[in-house]
């Protein structure tokens, strides 16, 4: 993977003065699970020729790092099902070693972690996010349309044994999460893991009305406080979560609230899909094609110019609307965007 260096090294700043320092880079739209809030049961994935090669992904990552990105999260789909993915992590370990990248991490469903945890740690990954919405094996099979909870728990154990800090992500779902939130808190905190709770977002048609899934985190927090004492803390992890410490456990709970408490004022993130589309806002339809330039001889300076134009159009914020029939407010699915 040959390095190229853009001549422009100024930071990425949008028209509202927000400095972008965090890139979420999707490496595949494919996944070995079919979570009900993320995908439809019968998915049609992009042609493999439309997906960026590992060299193309590495080039974009290096370009954004040169422009001031210091946190890079690899996402999917499920990133660990991408053939050769470890090579990308090995390539990106260099900017970790030279200090130009502060953190390299990933979000995973955990199914492949038992196989990859040691190698991820070797390449410089220090912490990961694992999606885990339930500790009930039957409910897990239902939510993932056939997945194995035991396999994910094995992966979490392997990650911890490899020295990786693990944060659990749980999507708050009506008629389910409230009933087992105490178990999720205890499971995470007994293992020194942070638990982040996320409101479901209207991204893509998944065959279920989002309103039937939606559980506002204000309501879930009230339910948590029936059992636990929450103390708000100013800690930030680089993402949109607001944190509270549980007095009884000493552990943290993060609340990611795209509906009930908009977190856009200090947004520092952009996303690139596996097919090479730059999205400067998760909740808007803005899109900038980077793949065409990558494949038609565009220089790094050419890419910098269109990235800067895209940053200039980064919206002030998203405006998610949840109402009956609003499932396709944003046409692209979460699995395409990378969360």
Secondary element (H or E) of residue 330: none
Alpha-carbon gap, residue 23 to 7, rounded angstroms: 20
pLDDT (tens, 9 = 90+) of the chain, 339 residues, equals 444 444 445 589 888 888 999 999 999 999 999 988 888 888 788 899 999 999 999 999 999 999 999 999 999 999 999 999 999 999 999 999 999 999 999 999 999 999 999 999 999 999 999 999 999 999 999 999 999 999 999 999 999 999 999 999 999 999 899 999 999 999 999 999 999 999 887 655 555 665 667 899 999 999 999 999 999 999 877 678 899 999 999 999 999 987 556 556 678 889 999 999 999 987 677 889 999 999 999 999 999 999 999 998 887 765 555 544 444 455 555 666 765
- The answer to whether 10 is a known ligand-binding residue is no
What is the pLDDT at residue 249?
98
pLDDT at 200: 85
Per the listing, tokens 């979460």 go with 334
Residue 31 annotated in ligand binding: yes
In angstroms, the CA 98 to CA 70 distance is 12
What is the reported pTM?
0.89
Q: Give the rounded distance of the alpha carbon of 264 from its chain centre.
A: 16
47 is in an annotated binding site: no
What stretch of H or E contains 300? helix 300-312
What DSSP state is assigned to residue 139?
H
Domain ranges of the chain: 12-337
Find out whether 288 is annotated in a ligand binding site: no
Query: Tell me, what's the pLDDT at 1?
Result: 45
Round to whole Å and give the CA distance between 4 and 133.
41
What does the DSSP assignment read for 223-291?
HHTTTS-EEEE----SSS-EEEEETTT--EEEEE-TTTS--GGG--EEEE-TTSEEES-TTS---EE-H
Environment class of 226 (CB within 10 Å of its CB; exposed 0-12, middle 13-18, buried 19+): exposed
Q: Strand 71-75 to strand 22-26: parallel, antiparallel, or no bridges (unpaired)?
A: parallel
Q: What is the pLDDT of residue 261?
A: 60
12-337, what's its fold?
TIM Barrel (3.20.20)
Question: 270 a known binding residue?
Answer: yes
Task: Classify residue 196 by burial, with Cβ atoms within 10 Å: 0-12, 13-18, 19+.
Answer: buried
CB 8 within 8 A of CB 67: yes
Residue 35 marked in a binding site: yes
107 is in an annotated binding site: yes
Residue 269 annotated as part of some ligand binding site: yes
The terminus-to-terminus CA distance of the chain in angstroms comes to 26
Find out whether 126 is annotated in a ligand binding site: no
Q: Which segments within the chain are labelled E, that is strand? A: 12-13, 19-20, 22-26, 71-75, 103-108, 127-131, 165-172, 194-199, 230-233, 242-246, 252-256, 269-272, 277-279, 288-289
The answer to whether the annotation marks 281 as part of a ligand binding site is: yes
């Amino acid at each position: 993977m040959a390095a190229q260096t853009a001549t422009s090294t100024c930071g990425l700043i949008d028209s509202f003065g927000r400095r972008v320092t965090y890139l979420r880079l999707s490496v595949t739209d494919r996944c070995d699970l079919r979570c009900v809030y993320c995908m439809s049961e019968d998915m049609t994935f992009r042609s493999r020729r439309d997906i960026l090669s590992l060299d193309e992904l590495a080039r974009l990552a290096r370009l954004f790092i040169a422009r001031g990105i210091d946190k890079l999260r690899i996402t999917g789909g499920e990133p660990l099902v991408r053939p050769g993915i470890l090579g990308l992590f090995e390539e990106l370990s260099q900017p970790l070693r030279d200090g130009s990248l502060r953190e390299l991490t990933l979000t995973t469903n955990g199914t492949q972690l038992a196989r990859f945890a040691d190698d991820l740690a070797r390449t410089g990954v220090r912490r990961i996010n694992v999606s885990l919405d339930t500790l009930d094996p039957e409910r897990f099979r239902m939510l993932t349309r056939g997945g194995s909870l035991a396999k994910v728990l094995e992966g979490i154990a392997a990650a911890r044994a490899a020295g990786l800090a693990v944060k659990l992500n749980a999507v708050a779902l009506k008629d389910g999460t409230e009933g087992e939130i105490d178990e999720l808190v205890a499971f995470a905190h007994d293992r020194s893991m942070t638990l982040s709770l996320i409101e479901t977002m209207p991204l893509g048609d998944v065959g279920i009305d989002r309103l039937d899934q939606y559980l506002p985190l204000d309501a879930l927090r009230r339910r948590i406080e029936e059992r636990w004492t929450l103390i708000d803390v100013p800690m930030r992890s680089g993402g949109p979560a607001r944190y509270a410490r549980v007095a009884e456990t000493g552990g943290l709970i993060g609340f990611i609230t795209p509906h009930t408490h908009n977190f856009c004022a200090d947004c520092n993130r952009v996303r690139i899909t596996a097919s090479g589309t730059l999205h400067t806002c998760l909740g808007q339809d803005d899109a900038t094609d980077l793949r065409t330039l990558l494949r038609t001889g565009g220089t790094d300076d050419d890419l910098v110019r269109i990235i800067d134009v895209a940053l200039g159009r980064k919206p002030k914020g998203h405006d998610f609307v949840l109402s009956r029939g609003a499932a396709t407010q944003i046409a692209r699915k979460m699995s395409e965007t990378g969360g």
